[in-house]
Amino acid sequence: MSFLGVDLGTSFIKGAVLNLEKRRIEHVRRTPFPEAVATGHPLGGEYDPIEIVSAVRTLIDELAAHAPDCAGVVMCTQMHGLVMMNDRHQAVANCVTWRDQRALAKHPSGGGSYFDVILARTHAEERRQLGNELEPPRPICFLFWFQEQGKLSPGLIPASIPDFVLSVLCGSKPGVDATNASAYGAFNLETLDWHHEVIRKLGLDRLCWPPLRKPGEVAGYLKVGSKSVPCYSPVGDAQAALCGALLSTEELSLNIATGAQVSRLRNGLRLGDYQTRPYFDGKFLNTFSHPPAGRSLNVLVTLLTEMAVAQNVELADPWTYIAEAAGKIRDTDLQVDLNFFPASDGDSGRVANIRGENLTVGHLFRAAFRNMADSYYQCALQLWPEKSWKNLLFSGGLACKLETLREEIQRKFGSGCRLTPQTEDTLFGLLILASVFSGKATSVAEVSSQLRTSQMKTGG
């Protein structure tokens, strides 16, 4: 038995054949996510929804040739994006993604930005019930902007990107899984339903909010090759990636790439001063998603390569040299604060305690890695005050590639670690979900436990 897995990412739409018998990803393919369309708004982030549907359909058709026994389609998505649909299941506007920042524009009332008005209309307990997911790039915020601009008609359906895609391809009504519903910034984690009071306060109660689907519920049927196969309700890519990394409740997850997330998987709902997201098997993730990561490191890389770029000198791979240089420095008194972008720790970074002998690439990035480790540790203490995690789980491109970064983090935490077993962790997460949705396994935890045991036996 095989499934097709599709990951609707920010830069690429990836797909693969998921071999459920051998628990292996095969025939990985990727195609660029469509280019943004001009909106005339400097803070806009919109895409042609039909181009997205076409790209997904083409990818599925390409993969179908390698999966004559395909029994279903599973999908995950970049979170926080949506498409407005009418009751005939047609897009009536462009797709808006998390790149859209219009909620930060000034509100005509003079009460600050649109986001400031949203905060004024809601209270702290409601925002906790939303899992502290009420942030400017969330759909609830740009929906509020559209509503205040008079651009929303009653009865329109705010569909997540993959639910829109499946609705068009399958000719079915859009719904939404809890992992994607929570990404709207309008999902009540205590009731596991839309937060109708917040929706009403923001004047969005005349929209037709999609029904919540159960985990593994069939969203529609799609022709794959010569067969019509079930398409299961899409899930969030963050949850799929941690599923593919085989996260357990005894591990602290450090996902470090362009962005970073420090996460703890819990058996029950525990709200706090962090983000909370639904997971699988009735579990929840407590998360910090804004500590410094690759985006901040790239500020340093851009500075160091500026003159080379200006003179059209192409550096083959600056990261190879950075990793080697940082690895040669065992300790440094150089100080780096990577808060170059707005976050809970501030929005003004710095490089301090500079001396002639320590202002080198090796010292600079060793100090930067130490700052990252310190930030992750502070997040971990808030998620897990008793510090009883058994080990650290590293995933994400930077964490897997930079051994020096892992060393610095382990030294700070004083903990053992393991790496995600797969580089394509979102697609591997979809394979695990396909095993559960198809009935070959009873739970994500069951499959993950089996795979962790297999990994330890093989020394992987």
CATH code assigned at 291: 3.30.420.40
39-86 tens-digit pLDDT = 888 888 899 999 999 999 999 999 999 999 999 999 999 888 899 999
- Nearest C-alpha neighbor of 305 from the set 295, 319, 294: 319
Number of Cβ within a 10 Å radius of residue 303: 11
Structure confidence at residue 124 (pLDDT)? 95
Q: Is 439 within a domain?
A: no
**One domain for residues 304 and 174:** no
**One domain for residues 381 and 337:** yes
How do beta strands 251-256 and 260-266 pair? antiparallel
The residue behind tokens 């049927």 is: 221
- Band the pLDDT of 236: cuts 50, 70, 90: very high
369: CB partners within 8 A, 6+ apart: 326, 402, 404, 405, 408, 409
**One domain for residues 227 and 261:** no
Average per-residue pLDDT for the chain = 93
183-212 tens-digit pLDDT = 999 999 999 999 999 999 999 999 999 999
Q: What is the number of residues in the chain? A: 460
Give, in order, the Cα–Cα distances in Å from 213 to each of 372, 391, 441.
38, 34, 20
CB 303 within 8 A of CB 368: no
Q: Is 115 within a domain?
A: yes
Percent of the chain residues past pLDDT 70, beyond the cut:
98
Strand order in the sheet with 157-160: 36-37, 46-47, 95-96, 82-85, 157-160
**One domain for residues 273 and 223:** no
CA atoms within 13 A on the CB side of 430: 32
The residue behind tokens 């599925």 is: 60
12: CB partners within 8 A, 6+ apart: 30, 31, 32, 33
Name the domain boundary from 237, 258, 282: 237
249-277 tens-digit pLDDT = 999 999 999 889 999 999 999 999 999 99
**One domain for residues 48 and 96:** yes
**One domain for residues 230 and 262:** no
Give, in order, the Cα–Cα distances in Å from 64 to each of 170, 211, 234.
16, 30, 19
Q: What's the CA angle centered on 450, arms 449 and 452, to 5 degrees?
A: 65
Q: Is 452 within a domain?
A: no
**One domain for residues 128 and 11:** yes
Q: Is 251 within a domain?
A: yes
* CA distance linking residue 49 with residue 73, whole number of Å: 20
Element (H, E) at 244: helix 237-244
114-164 tens-digit pLDDT = 999 999 999 999 999 999 999 999 999 999 999 999 999 999 999 999 999
Domain span at residue 146 reads 2-237
CA atoms within 13 A on the CB side of 248: 16
Structure confidence at residue 51 (pLDDT)? 96
- Band the pLDDT of 346: cuts 50, 70, 90: low
**One domain for residues 194 and 340:** no
Give, in order, the Cα–Cα distances in Å from 260 to each of 247, 255, 375, 449, 451.
16, 5, 11, 25, 25
* CA distance linking residue 59 with residue 236, whole number of Å: 19
418-429 tens-digit pLDDT = 999 988 999 999
Kindly tell me if the per-residue pLDDT of 402 is higher than 90: yes
Q: Is 263 within a domain?
A: yes
pTM: 0.92
Count of structural domains within the chain: 2
Name the domain boundary from 237, 267, 286: 237
Q: Is 430 within a domain?
A: no
Kindly tell me if the per-residue pLDDT of 458 is higher than 80: no
**One domain for residues 310 and 369:** yes
**One domain for residues 222 and 257:** no
Alpha helices in 294-352 (DSSP H): 294-304, 306-310, 318-328
Q: Is 413 within a domain?
A: yes
**One domain for residues 202 and 335:** no
Name the domain boundary from 183, 205, 237: 237
86-108 tens-digit pLDDT = 989 899 999 999 888 999 999 99
Number of Cβ within a 10 Å radius of residue 227: 13
CB 420 within 8 A of CB 393: yes
- Nearest C-alpha neighbor of 185 from the set 295, 330, 82: 82
The residue behind tokens 């939404």 is: 176
Q: Is 432 within a domain?
A: no
Structure confidence at residue 42 (pLDDT)? 84
**One domain for residues 26 and 85:** yes
